Amino acid sequence: MTSVGDIKLALEQSCELLRDAYRSVREAQGALDEAVDILVEASANHPESLVPAGFLKAGERFADELELIVGSLDLVQRLAVEL
């Protein structure tokens, strides 16, 4: 049988993993933004953009992913408090 303490510990670990995921997504967002900036600058010397369309689509999705992580973290924290 699982105790309330075990559940709280698992929820705490989940919160840490969600915080780590948030930081990782933010780092990836920053790295992608930097790469796009470099490619945009390099594109000035080329007839076509060097920025892959997939980079722009990926950049647009970061906000949704971060919102999902924050929402999940909020739910897990509320559940932990209710226990």
Q: What is the CATH number of the domain that holds 31?
A: 1.10.287
* pLDDT at residue number 2: 81
pTM for the predicted model, two decimal places = 0.84
- Flag whether pLDDT at 1 surpasses 80: no
Domain span including residue 33: 4-82
70/74 Cα distance (integer angstroms): 6
Dist. CA 57–CA 79, nearest whole Å: 34
Is residue 77 classed exposed, middle or buried when 0-12, 13-18 and 19+ CB atoms within 10 A define those classes? middle
Q: Kindly provide the residue ranges of all beta strands, DSSP E only, lying in the chain, ordered along the sequence.
A: none
Q: What pLDDT sits at residue 83? A: 85
pLDDT tens by residue, 15-65 = 999 999 999 999 999 999 999 999 999 999 889 999 998 998 998 999 999
DSSP, collapsed to helix, strand or coil, labels residue 83 as coil
Overall number of domains in the chain = 1
